[in-house]
Amino acid sequence: MKLRKLSLRVRIFIAMILLVLLSSILIAAVAIHQYNEETQDYHNQRLERKERAITTSLVYELRETSYEVITEKIPLIFKDKINKIADIHNQAIDLYDLEGSFLISSKSELKPEKEKECLQAEVLNALLNTAEHRLVEKREEGEETFLSSYIYILDKKSKPLAIINLPYLEKDEFLAKELNEFLERLSYTSLIVLLIGVALAFIVSKYITKSLNAISEKMRTTRLEKRNEKVVIDNVSEEISILIKSYNNMIDELEESAVQLATSEREQAWREMAKQVAHEIKNPLTPMRLTVQSFQRKFDPLDENIHQKLDEYSKTLIQQIDTMSTIAGAFSNFAKMPAQQNEMLNVVEIVDLSLDIFNEDYITFQSDKKELVAKFDRTQLIRVVTNLIKNGIQAIPEGQTPKILVTVSEENEMVKIMVSDNGIGITEENKPKVFEPKFTTKTSGMGLGLPMVKNIVETYGGTITFVSQKGSGTIFTVEFPKK
C-alpha cells in the first residue's frame, strides 16, 4: 500500500513510531561512537602514562649504575632491574639498540626468540624523523587489540641510548559492560516512549481529523452555481483555524469568480453578437450598392417613367436603411455598458481577486501593501486587469513556459498596476497602433480590448503606457489617482 493512500491517523502513527525508532538508533549510534572514542583515548593516555613512569625508572637506574652508560652495557645495567621495574608498573619492557637489534626484555622466557628479532626499518625511520621521536603501532590478533609503543631512552647528554618498546594489550571488559548496560536501559526507555507516542498520536489524530472531516464535508458540497455555506468551528488549533479561514475566503472568492465568469460569458456573447451584427449589416449594404449603381447607369431625365423608377429606387434604399437602423438599435441596446460606480475600493484585493478567474500557476501577484484604497468602478477595474492579463497570455508563443507578473504599488498619490509577460513583444512598427480600435496582430479578435482599457483608465483621469522589446516581452503600466 502506498503511503499517500493511507489515512492521516495512520500516517501520524507511522511517523511517531519512526521518530522514536530513529531517535533511539541515533542515540545508540552516538553512544557507541562516543564509547569507541573514549576507549581509544583511555588506552592512549594510559600507555603514555606508563611510558613516562617506566622511562623515569630506567633513567634512574642509569644514574645509579656503576657500569659505563653506553648502548652495549644496557643488558648488564638492567639485567637484574628490568624485571623489577616491569613488575612494579605491570608492563612488559623490551629494549633495542639504535640499529634495531634486541638487547634485553622483561619476559625472560621469550629471550631466545627476541634475540633473533630486529626492529623494522619503518619503525627506526619514524623514530628518527618525527619531532616527538615516538611511534605507536596498532595490530589485531584474533579478538584482541595490541598497541606497541617505541621511544628513545636518553643518556645524561640527552642523546639516544636505546629504544624502549612497550607492548600493550587493550582490555575493554569494563567499558564494554558499561556500554551494554546503557544500551539496555535505552531500549527500555525507547519502548516506553514508543507506547506514549502511540497513545499521543491516537489522541492528536482524532482531534485533528474531527475538524478536517467537518471541513471536507463542506468542501464536498461546494458548488459554483449555488451559494455555499462557510465553515464555523470553535475551539480549534491555530493551523485548523487558518485552514478554515482559507476555506471561507475561498468561498468568498468563488462567489466573486462566479460573478466574473458570468461577466466573461456576457462579454463572449457580446463578441459573438458583434460578429453577427457585422454580418447582418453587410447583407443590406450589398443590395443598396447594386441599387445605386443601377440607378446611376440607367438614369435618363427624358425617360417618361423616370419618376416611377426613382420611386422604386428610393423605396429599396429606405427599406435597407430601415433594416440597418433596426440592427444598429438592437446592437446599441445590447452593448450598453453599465453606469460607472465611483466606489472606494481596496485595489490590492480587487486585483488579486481578478487573478482567480485564470487559475494558472504561472501568474504571480505582488504588492508592497495589503491595502491600497482608491476611487474606481469595481467591475471596470476587473475588466482592465483581466484584459491586460489575457493580452499577455496571448502574446506568449506555443512551446514557451508562460510567465505573467502583476504588481500593485503606490507612487506620489497614484495607484500603479503593472502587468508584464515574457511573450514575443511588440515591434517598433506596431507600437503606435496598439491602442487603435480594431488593430490586432492575432488571427482572432476584434482589436477592442486595449482601446476599451485605455478608455476606462482615462475616464478616471489615469494613463496607460507600455514598454516592449521584441522577443523579450511587454510591460503595461496603468496609473490613476487614488481620489
pLDDT digits (tens, 9 = 90+) for 183-207: 888 888 888 887 887 788 777 777 7
**Which residues make Cβ contacts (< 8 Å) with residue 303, sequence separation at least 6?**
309
Question: Cα 233 to chain center, whole Å?
Answer: 32
Q: Are residues 317 and 372 in the same domain?
A: no
Q: What pLDDT does 474 receive?
A: 92
- Same domain (yes/no): 149, 168: yes
> With 90 as the cut, is the pLDDT of residue 405 above it?
yes
Judgement on whether residues 141 and 254 belong to the same structural domain of the protein: no
Q: What is the mean pLDDT of residues 228-247?
A: 70
411 three-state secondary structure: strand
On the question of pLDDT at 172 being above 70, the answer is: no
What was the pLDDT predicted at 445? 46
In this model, does residue 127 exceed pLDDT 90?
A: no
Residues 158 and 278 placed together within one structural domain of the fold: no
Amino acid 174: pLDDT: 64
Is the pLDDT confidence value at 152 over 80?
A: yes
Residue 248 has pLDDT above 80, yes or no: no
| pLDDT bucket at 224, cuts 50 / 70 / 90 | low
- pLDDT, residue 138, reads 84
Same structural domain, 371 and 284? no
Q: pLDDT for 345-355, tens place per residue?
A: 899 998 988 88
Q: Would 388 be classed as within a structural domain?
A: yes
Among 10-14, 117-121, 327-331, 438-442, whose mean pLDDT is lowest? 327-331
Report the percent of the chain where pLDDT is more than 90.
Answer: 8
Calpha distance 463→435 (Å, rounded): 12
Per-residue pLDDT tens over the stretch 20-58: 788 888 888 888 888 778 878 888 888 888 888 988 888
| 205 part of a folded domain | no
Domains contained in the chain, number: 3
Answer whether 478's CB lies under 8 Å from 452's CB: no
Q: Do 320 and 381 fall into the same domain?
A: no
User: Which residue would you say has higher pLDDT here, 192 or 179?
Assistant: 192
**Contact by Cβ (8 Å): 94, 130:** no
Same domain, 286 and 347: no
How far, in Å, CA of 257 to CA of 264, rounded?
10
Task: Decide if 65 contacts 59 (C-beta within 8 A).
Answer: no
**pTM for the predicted model, two decimal places:** 0.37
CA dihedral 64, 66, 70, 73 (to 10 degrees): -110
| Predicted pLDDT at 292 | 73
All 3 cell numbers of residue 345? 475600493
Cβ(135)–Cβ(150) below 8 Å: yes
Q: What confidence category does residue 1 fall into, taking pLDDT thresholds of 50, 70 and 90?
A: very low
Split at pLDDT 50, 70, 90, the class of 476 is very high
DSSP result, 329-347? HHHHHHHPPPPP--EEEEH
- Is residue 388 classed exposed, middle or buried when 0-12, 13-18 and 19+ CB atoms within 10 A define those classes? buried
Please determine, for residue 279, whether its predicted confidence score (pLDDT) is greater than 60.
no
Among the candidates 318, 335, 352, a domain finishes at 335
Q: Are residues 365 and 325 in the same domain?
A: no
CATH of the domain at 409: 3.30.565.10
Write down the mean pLDDT value for the chain.
78
Rounded to whole angstroms, the Cα distance separating 94 from 467 reads: 90
pLDDT reported for residue 407:
94
Segment 368-381 mean pLDDT: 87
Whether residue 276 lies inside any domain: the answer is yes
Calculate helix-pair angle for 378-394, 238-298, nearest 10 degrees: 80
What is the model's pLDDT at position 477?
94
Q: Is residue 467 part of a domain?
A: yes
Q: What is the CATH number of the domain that holds 273?
A: 1.10.287
> Which own/partner pairs from 320-323 qualify as long-range (CB within 8 Å, at least 24 positions apart)?
320/284, 320/285, 320/287, 320/288, 320/291, 321/284, 321/288, 323/283, 323/284
Do 20 and 41 lie in one domain? The reply is yes
CATH number at residue 86: 3.30.450.20
Which structural domain range is residue 401 located in?
Answer: 343-481
- Give residue 354's pLDDT: 82
pLDDT of residue 143: 73
